[in-house]
Structure 1
Amino acid sequence: MQAVDLLNIITAQAAGDATSGLMGMLPIILMFVILYFLMIRPQMKRQKEHRNLVAGLSKGDEVITSGGLLGKVTKVGDAYITIEVAELADKPVEVVMQRTAVSNVLPKGTIKSL
């Protein structure tokens, strides 16, 4: 009879330890869920929007680069674009940049209005 009681006590303690172990891990799991929704998910959304912006670049778009240059796209390649940033003696001043350096596409006519 005592062996059965001892077995029930050990089984109850093991079940209690498993439950308390799960409850101890709950705050850490909750922190990771909050971290995902507050930091990781918005960053992934911004990366996706930037990827779509860079993929949609075409000749004639007016852009701002991450370095602050404002110009008009004149040539588009796979990895690089050429941007006209000014005119000097009726010749365009062009800069070759990586496509990923573009941070924003402006509405048409923005450069002339400046």
Structure 2
Amino acid sequence: MSSIVLLVALFGLMYFLMIRPQRKRAAERAAMLRAADIGDVVATVGGVIGKIVAVEEPGEVVCIEVDSDVELRVQRRAIGEIVTRAGDEDAAESPTSDDLDPPE
């Protein structure tokens, strides 16, 4: 009887320490992917940073503009994070090459 109680307690401990937090992170990631929309600046899991310019009809493929006239089609699940949201006035702009040049 005590071994059954020990197994149940061990499973309960594993649930609260491993399974529950993993499900919570998965739900947060799924919500973030659903919220990614046109105009958001995103970073892919491969490290490519660009702005979402189009979402194809099924919604699983997005077009990311990485430079003028350069667009990449990636699966929505390849988005690693949303860097800035469209319409965020408080979001800091990434520095341009002109900002990085030392003053003369």
TM-score range, shorter chain: 0.7 to 0.9
What does residue 102 of structure 1 align with?
79
> How has the CA–CA distance of structure 1 residues 103 and 69 changed in structure 2, closer, same or farther, with 3 Å as cutoff?
same
Deviation at 1:112, TM superposition (A): 3.5
Cα distance in 1 for partners of 2:67, 2:70 equals 5
Q: CA RMSD, aligned part only?
A: 1.6
Q: Deviations over 1:11-52 (max 9, x none)?
A: xxxxxxxxxxx2121111111111101110011001101111
Structure 2 gaps of 5+ residues are: 97-104
Distance 1:111 1:103 in 2: 19
Question: Does structure 2 conserve the Cα–Cα contact (< 8 Å) formed by 1:64 and 1:71?
Answer: yes
| Higher helix content, 1 or 2 | 1
For residues 1-114 of structure 1, what are the structure 2 equivalents within 5 Å? 22-77=1-56, 78-87=59-68, 92-107=69-84, 112-113=94-95
Aligned letter for 1:28? L
Q: 1:96 to 1:55 in 2, by over 3 A?
A: same
How many pairs align? 89
Percent identity of paired positions between Structure 1 and Structure 2 = 33
Q: Which has the higher contact order (CA 8 A, sep 6+)?
A: 2
TM-score, normalising length: structure 2? 0.77
> What secondary structure is seen at the aligned counterpart in 1 of 2:94?
helix
Which aligned runs of 4 or more in structure 1 are off by greater than 4 angstroms? Answer: 108-111
Deviations 1:47-67 (A, max 9, x none): 101111111111110001111
TM (norm. structure 1) is 0.71
